[in-house]
Structure 1
Amino acid sequence: MAEIVIVGAGFGGLSAAYELKHLLKGKHEITLISDQPTFTFIPSLPWVTFNLRRLDQVQLPLEPLLQKYGIHWRHGKVTALDPEEKRVTVEEEITLEYDYLIIATGASLAYHLIPGLGPEDGYTQSVCNAHHAEMAREAWNEFLENPGPILVGAVPGASCMGPAYEVALLADYSLRNKGIRDQATITFISPEPYLGHLGIGGMANSDKVVTEVMQEHGIDWVENAAITEIKPDHVKLSDGQEFPFQYAMFLPPFRGAQFLRNVPGLTDKKGFVPVRDTYQHPDYPSIYSAGVITQLAPPETTEVPLGAPKTGQMTESMAIAVAHNIARELGEIQSHPVKPSLDAICMADFGNDGIIFIAAPVVPEPSIGHRRHATALRGVWVNWVKNAFEWYFLMKMRWGTAVPWFERLVLFLLQLSLVTPIAPSSDQSKPLTVLEK
């Protein structure tokens, strides 16, 4: 009987645990470790910020869920990993041995890279985790008592720009509903070379669609912007420009967790885990990676650095591929190894409007030099779709299933997929993307 340990209980960790439980049929032990007692549906955190959701509406308690489905639960922070001895240490006290380890930690938020960035030691808000979204909500409620200039965007090295667009336009929506939009300017400050670039070179018409939305809602913007310092009431850019603010939200760069960076040769210099096509580590085949923590090179280089975005769907596809490949190694399923398709859907809701971005795959296919499918679609229906997806994803986490058959059917109809077979000639020993160590 194999011991499979999963670190992280977000989109990747919980999906991998459920898919493994389904594929292994109770023949092997699965343990999930997380320093958070709840699963949080991260895409809904902008709604929490603007009082459109309560935080408890987008969270699920992990312990009763996992116990219900026969998955072992360990609440605590992983403090050490020994890949040679195949063991992890929790809270410096408990040691767990594993046959397979899935790293699905998400990423640490590198606020320290920009002076004044962040809600705890700086002057800006964030929607990257539940605690910070609650802080952003409290700050927003205070802001409404004394409105003024609003700044939203991201700093150099950030990725997944969708939430920044959501915050800017939800701020506009909230202020208009309260009849005080004329009391606050909104400026979007982005490291992207143009609006709608999203860190991936755009999605066909995304630049045109995003620009139209910003113009219609009276939001100014600064492209190709490198924030260098944030003071209590203004932001400084590398070109000398300064922008005042009463409320600011900027997405930070991501880094790997400290316990990963402490292991020589395990990660790149930023703490991201390199992987083969099978999403195994190239030097430690018993270690798999899924989600934001996985190393993925941006499709193109930009003047101001941007990270490669990893959406919830991309994370889910990595988790499904990892579970499939582990089950195959254990002899529980007979099939070829698979890799995640890295098709991405990003839904940005603006209250009474929205944009859905589709890139299939995020990284253009080398064999054809472009994506199979890429588009940006706008409409009020995006709000309905995102609401429905939130309900559906939380429900399937309650059901203990990762990808029901009807979800696979919908993805097929959208010309999307979660995993694809690895060709027999593929060099699985070669990392998918190798960045500087």
Structure 2
Amino acid sequence: MAHIVIVGGGFGGLSAAYELKHLLHGKHKITLISDETTFTFIPSLPWVAFNLRRLEDVQLPLAPLLARQGINWQHGRVTGLDPNQKRVSVGEDITFDYDYLVITTGASLAYHLMSGLGPEEGYTQSVCNAHHAEMARDAWDEFLENPGPLLVGAVPGASCMGPAYEFALLADYALRQEGKRDQVPITFISPEPYLGHLGIGGMANSGKLVTELMKQRNIDWVENAEIAEIKEDHVKLTDGREFPFNYSMFLPPFRGAQFLKEVPGLTDEKGFLPVLDTYQHPDYPSIYSAGVITQLAAPEETEVPLGAPKTGQMTESMAMAVAHNIARELGEINARPVKPSLEAICMADFGDTGIIFIAAPVVPDPSVGHRRHATALRGLWVNWAKNAFEWYFLAKMRWGTAVPWFEKLGLYLLRLTLVTPISETPTQQKDLTSIKG
């Protein structure tokens, strides 16, 4: 009996655990380690910040979910990893030996890279995790008592611009609902070379849709903006321009978990894990990874640094590939190895409208220089679709299933896939070790 240890209880961790349980038929032991006691549906956190959703409505307790599926759960923070001995340490005195390790930790929020950034030791809010979303909500309630300039955006090196757009336009919506929009000038400050770039060179008509919406909602913007410093009441750019604020929300850069960076040669300089097409580590084949922690190249260099986004659907596709490949190595399925398609549907809700982005794949295929297909569509129906997807995803996490057949069918009808077969020849696997995350 093999022991598969999964580190992380978010999108990637639960999806990998459920799919492994399905593919391994209970013949092998699965342990999930998480420093959180709940699963949080991260895409809903902007709603939490504006009192449009209660946090408890987008969270599920991990212990009963995993117990129902016969998956072992260990609450605690991973403090050490020995990939040679195949051992993980949790806290001060708990260790797990593994045959396969799946790392789905998400990313550490690198607020420390810029003084004044972040809600705990700085002056800006965030919606990157549940605790910070609650802090953003409390700060928003105070802001409504003393409205003034509002700044939203991202600092250099950020890699997922969608939540910033969602926050800026939801703020406009919430302020109009409160009758206070005329008291709050909103400015969007972005490291992107143009609105709608999204860290992936844009897609279809994304730039046009986003720009039109910003104009319609009277939101000013600064493109190609490099923030130099953040003070208690203003942001200063490297070109000398200053922008005052009474409330601000800026997305931080992401980095890898500390316990990974402490293993020599395991990660790149930012703490992200390099992978082969199978999503195994090139030097430690017993280690797989999925989600934000995985190294992925941005499709192009920009004047102000940007990272490539890794959406929830991309994370799911990585988790499906990892589970498939581990089950194959254990001899539980007879199939070719697969790689994640890295295609994505991203829904951004703006209160009374929204934009859906579909990209296949998210990062254009370097061999041809473009995506197979991409589109961006706007409408109130996006709000309904995101609400429906939130309900559906939380439901399937309760059911204990990763990607049921009808979801795969729906993706197929949209010309999207989660995984694709790859060659079994190692020389034909694409080694990503030289790519900077």
TM-score normalised according to structure 1 size: 0.99
Alignment of 1:38-117 (within 5 A): 38-117=38-117
> What amino acid maps onto 2:413 in structure 1?
L
State the 1:106 CA deviation.
0.1
Please give the secondary structure, in 2, of the residue aligned with 1:141. Answer: helix
Deviations 1:56-75 (A, max 9, x none): 00000000110011000000
* Contact in 2 for aligned 1:229/1:236 (Cα 8 Å): yes
Q: Which residue of 1 aligns with 2:432?
A: 432
- Tell me the equivalent position of 2:135: 135
**What are the superposed Cα offsets for residues 370-419 of structure 1, whole Å, 9 maximum, x if unpaired?**
10011111000000000000000000000000000000000000000100
1:428 Cα offset (Å): 5.2
Q: AA paired with 1:280? A: Q
Say if 2:226 is the partner of 1:226. Answer: yes
1:363 Cα shift?
Answer: 1.7
CA distance in 2, matches of 1:367, 1:195: 26
1:279 alignment counterpart: 279
Aligned residue type for 1:14? L
Cα displacement string for residues 200-234 of structure 1 (whole angstroms, at most 9, x for unaligned residues):
00001110000000000000000000011100000
Quote the residue 2:314 is aligned against. 314
Amino acid aligned to 1:383:
N
Q: Which residue of 2 is the match for residue 148 of structure 1?
A: 148
CA contact (8 A) 1:282 1:430 kept: no
Contact 2:103 2:288 in 1 (8 A): yes
- Decide whether the 8 Å contact of 1:155 with 1:227 is kept in 2: yes
One-letter identity of the residue aligned with 1:214: M
Do the aligned residues in 2 keep the contact of 1:296 with 1:433 (CA within 8 Å)? no
Structure 1 CA distance, aligned partners of 2:176 and 2:366? 46
Alpha-carbon distance in 2 for matches of 1:91, 1:260: 15
- Secondary structure of the corresponding residue to residue 277 of structure 1: coil
Where 2:193 maps in the other structure, the secondary structure is: coil
What is the rounded CA distance, in whole Å, between the counterparts of 2:314 and 2:116 in structure 1?
31
Letter in 2 for 1:219: I
User: What is the one-letter code of the residue matched to 2:225?
Assistant: A
User: Which residue does the alignment assign to 2:197?
Assistant: 197
Quick one: which amino acid aligns to residue 202 of structure 1? G
Root mean square deviation, CA, Å: 1.0
The one-letter code matched in structure 1 to 2:347 is M
Q: Distance in 1 between matches of 2:43 and 2:324?
A: 26
Instruction: Assess, with a 3 A threshold, how the Cα gap between structure 1 residues 411 and 304 changes in structure 2: closer, same or farther.
Output: same
Give 1:432 shift. 3.1
In structure 1, the residue matched to 2:5 is 5
Query: 2 CA distance for matches of 1:428 and 1:5?
Result: 28
Unaligned runs of 5+ in 1: none
Q: Deviations over 1:348-389 (max 9, x none)?
A: 100000001111101212333210011111000000000000
Q: 1:428 to 1:19 in 2, by over 3 A?
A: farther
- Partner of residue 238, structure 2: 238
SS in 2 for 1:79: strand
* Distance change in 2, residues 1:179/1:224 (3 Å): same
Query: Aligned equivalents of 2:337 and 2:199: distance in 1?
Result: 29
Deviations 1:33-72 (A, max 9, x none): 0000000000000000000000000000000110011000
Name the structure 2 match of 1:290: 290
What's the offset of the Cα at 1:436? Answer: 5.1
Aligned residues of 1:276 and 1:428 also touching (Cα < 8 A):
no
Task: String of CA shifts for 1:188-207, please: whole Å, max 9, x gaps.
Answer: 00000000000000001110
Distance 1:325 1:400 in 2: 20
SS in 2 for 1:204: coil
2:161 equivalent in structure 1: 161
Counterpart position of 2:175: 175
Q: CA deviation at 1:429?
A: 5.5
Q: Report the Cα offset of residue 92 of structure 1.
A: 2.1
Return the letter of the residue paired with 1:230: I
Counterpart Cα distance in 1 of 2:317 and 2:192:
26
Work out the CA distance in 2 between the residues paired with 1:403 and 1:427. Answer: 30
Contact 2:297/2:436, CA 8 A, preserved across alignment: no
Q: Which residue of 2 aligns with 1:367?
A: 367
Query: Aligned partners of 2:429, 2:50: CA distance in 1, in Å?
Result: 47
On the 8 A contact 1:7/1:32 being kept in 2, the answer is: yes
1:409 to 2:409 alignment: yes
TM-superposed CA distance for 1:424, in Å, is 4.4
Change (3 A) 1:436 1:168: closer
Q: CA deviation at 1:434?
A: 2.4
Distance 1:329 1:109 in 2: 34
The question of whether the paired residues in 2 share the 8 Å contact of 1:272 and 1:293 is answered with yes
Q: 1:257 corresponds to which letter in structure 2? A: A
How far is the alpha carbon of 1:160 from its aligned partner?
1.1
